[in-house]
C-alpha cells in the first residue's frame, strides 16, 4: 500500500488522505477537526475498520472535553496520530494475512507472524526466512523494520528521526551522506579525492564475481566511488576535516583507496591545523587486495602519529555499528577522544570466527557498546541527536573555534 498526505487551507483544520492499495484501488479519507467531520468514499474492509476505529475515538471523552482548554493544534496532533495508528494497524493485518497465505502454501501447519501485546513488535518464526523476505520486499517502500524490536518505522519520517527506532530507541545504520548531513553545516562540505577509485592490484580471482565488476556494481548501487567519503566542512561554524566510512559499500572494507583517502585527509588537516573526525563503520581490511589492504593500517597510523604527537592536534574517532577488524586495530582506537554510538557492534574478530577458532562461546553483548564501555574501551556513548553539539563543545575545549569567533577576536 502506498500513502500520500495532502494539507488544505481553510478556516478549520482539515486534512485529506489519498490511499492506494496494492491492487491499484484508490480511497479518499477526509476529516475536519474543528467540526468533527470524518468521511470516506469507499466501503472497503480497510475503510470500514478505519471508520469504526475513528468513531470510537471521536466519542471518547478526551475529544469531547467540555472545558474548551484543548487547542486546535492539540486536537490536530491527536487526530493525526490516531489516523496513523489506524493505517498502521491495517498494514500489520495485511502483512500478517499475506504471510499466512504464503506460509500455508508451503506448510499448512506453520504460523507466520504473531502480533504480541505490544503492537510494535513482530515475533517471527525462525524458519520463515522466505516469508520475511517476501514481506520486506512487498512493504519496503513504506517502512523500515527495526533490527532490535521488529517495530515499523515509516520511511517518510525515518531520516528526520536520524534512523533511530521510535519504538525502542535502537540506532539503525546510516549511510555516509546522511552522516555528513547530520554533522556538517549546510553548504560548507567540500569533498576530497572523489575521483580516486579502486583497481584490482593483485588480480584477485573469484568464481562468483570479478573484483572489478563488484566495485562497479557497488558504485552504481550506492552512488559512491569507494567505501569512505572525505572532505572539509564546518561543524557549528568550526572548520574540520572529516572522513565517513559507508558500510553499504562492500561492508565498509578498507582497501588501498580507502587507506589513501584517509591518509591524505589527515595530512591535509595536519598542514591546515584542523581537527579531524573519522566515522568508522567497517568489516575490516578488504581481502580482495590482500596485504596491500593490511598496509593501510600502518600508513594511517603513521599519519596520525605525526598529526597527534608532533603537531599536537585533536582527533575524534566515532565508532558506529559495525566497527571490526583492521579498522578497530588501527585508527578506530587511536582517537584522542573515542566516542561510540549506542548498541553498536564493536570488535576485532567476529563472533563466529572467535567461536570456530577458539572453541568458546561469545555472548552477543560482549561485542556491544554498553558492555565494552564498562571495560574502558572508549570515552563516551553518545546518541545521534546529541552528537553535533557535544563535538562542538569538545572542539572549543581544545582550542578550535568557529570562523566567526576568530574574526571577532
86 annotated as a binding-site residue:
no
Question: How many CB atoms neighbour CB 291 within 10 A?
Answer: 8
List Cα–Cα distances, 290 to 201, 324, 378, in angstroms.
9, 17, 29
Alpha carbons 294 and 178: distance in angstroms, whole number? 28
280 annotated as a binding-site residue:
no
List Cα–Cα distances, 255 to 173, 180, 345, in angstroms.
21, 22, 21
Partner residues linked to 38 by β-bridges: 31
Residue environment code for 294-325, b if the CB has 16+ CB neighbours within 10 A, otherwise e = bebbebbbebbeebbeeeebbbbbbbbbbbbb
Partner residues linked to 16 by β-bridges: 6, 30
Question: How many CB atoms neighbour CB 202 within 10 A?
Answer: 12
Alpha carbons 265 and 166: distance in angstroms, whole number? 35
Closest by Cα among 163, 282, 187 to 237:
187
Alpha carbons 143 and 152: distance in angstroms, whole number? 6
Partner residues linked to 30 by β-bridges: 16, 39
- CB within 8 A of 363, min separation 6: which ones? none
168 annotated as a binding-site residue:
yes
Q: Are 244 and 228 in contact (CB under 8 A)?
A: yes
| The three three-digit cell numbers of residue 252, written as one number | 565498509
Q: Are 147 and 168 in contact (CB under 8 A)?
A: no
Q: Are 292 and 201 in contact (CB under 8 A)?
A: yes
Distance, first Cα to last Cα, the chain: 57
Alpha carbons 111 and 405: distance in angstroms, whole number? 63
Closest by Cα among 114, 122, 231 to 167:
122
Partner residues linked to 280 by β-bridges: 319
Partner residues linked to 6 by β-bridges: 16
**Residue with grid cell 562468483, as numbered in its chain:** 208
Residue stretches of the annotated binding site: 146, 149, 165, 168
Residue stretches of the annotated binding site for Zn(2+): 146, 149, 165, 168
Amino acid at each position: 500500500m502506498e500513502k500520500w498526505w495532502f494539507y488544505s487551507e481553510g478556516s478549520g483544520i482539515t486534512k485529506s488522505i489519498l490511499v492506494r492499495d496494492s491492487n491499484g484501488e484508490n480511497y479518499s479519507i477526509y476529516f475536519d477537526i474543528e467540526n468533527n467531520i470524518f468521511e470516506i468514499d469507499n466501503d472497503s474492509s480497510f475503510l470500514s475498520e478505519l471508520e469504526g476505529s475513528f468513531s470510537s475515538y471521536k466519542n471518547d471523552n478526551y475529544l469531547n472535553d467540555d472545558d474548551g482548554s484543548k487547542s486546535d493544534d492539540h486536537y490536530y496532533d491527536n487526530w493525526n496520530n490516531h489516523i496513523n495508528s489506524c493505517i498502521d494497524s491495517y498494514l500489520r493485518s495485511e502483512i500478517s494475512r499475506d504471510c499466512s497465505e504464503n506460509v500455508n502454501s508451503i506448510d499448512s501447519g506453520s504460523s507466520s507472524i504473531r502480533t504480541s501485546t505490544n503492537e510494535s513488535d513482530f515475533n517471527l518464526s525462525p524458519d520463515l526466512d522466505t516469508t520475511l523476505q517476501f514481506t520486506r520486499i512487498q512493504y519496503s517502500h513504506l517502512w523500515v523494520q527495526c533490527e532490535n524490536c521488529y517495530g515499523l518505522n515509516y520511511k517518510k519520517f525515518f531520516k528526520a528521526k536520524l534512523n533511530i527506532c521510535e519504538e525502542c530507541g535502537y540506532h539503525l545504520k546510516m549511510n555516509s551522506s546522511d552522516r555528513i548531513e547530520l554533522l556538517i553545516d549546510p553548504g560548507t562540505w567540500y569533498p576530497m579525492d572523489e575521483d580516486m577509485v579502486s583497481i584490482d592490484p593483485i588480480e584477485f580471482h573469484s568464481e562468483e564475481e570479478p573484483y572489478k565488476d563488484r566495485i562497479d556494481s557497488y558504485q552504481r548501487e550506492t552512488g559512491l566511488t569507494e567505501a569512505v567519503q572525505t572532505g572539509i566542512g564546518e561543524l557549528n561554524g568550526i572548520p574540520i576535516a572529516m572522513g565517513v566510512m559507508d558500510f553499504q559499500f562492500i561492508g565498509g572494507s578498507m582497501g588501498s583507496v580507502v587507506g589513501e583517502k584517509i591518509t591524505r585527509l589527515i595530512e591535509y588537516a595536519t598542514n591546515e591545523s584542523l581537527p579531524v573526525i573519522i566515522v568508522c563503520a567497517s568489516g575490516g581490511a578488504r581481502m580482495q587486495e590482500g596485504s596491500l589492504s593490511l598496509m593501510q593500517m600502518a600508513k594511517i597510523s603513521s599519519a596520525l602519529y605525526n598529526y597527534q604527537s608532533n603537531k599536537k592536534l585533536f582527533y575524534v574517532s566515532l565508532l558506529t555499528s559495525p566497527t571490526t577488524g583492521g579498522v578497530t586495530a588501527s585508527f578506530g582506537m587511536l582517537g584522542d577522544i573515542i566516542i561510540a554510538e549506542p548498541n553498536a557492534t564493536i570488535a576485532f574478530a567476529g563472533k563466529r570466527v572467535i567461536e570456530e577458532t577458539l572453541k568458546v562461546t561469545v555472548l552477543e553483548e560482549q561485542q556491544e557498546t554498553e558492555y565494552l564501555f564498562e571495560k574502558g574501551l572508549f570515552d563516551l556513548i553518545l546518541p545521534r541527536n546529541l552528537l553535533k553539539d557535544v563535538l562542538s563543545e569538545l572542539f572549543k575545549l581544545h582550542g578550535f573555534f568557529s570562523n566567526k569567533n576568530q574574526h571577532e577576536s
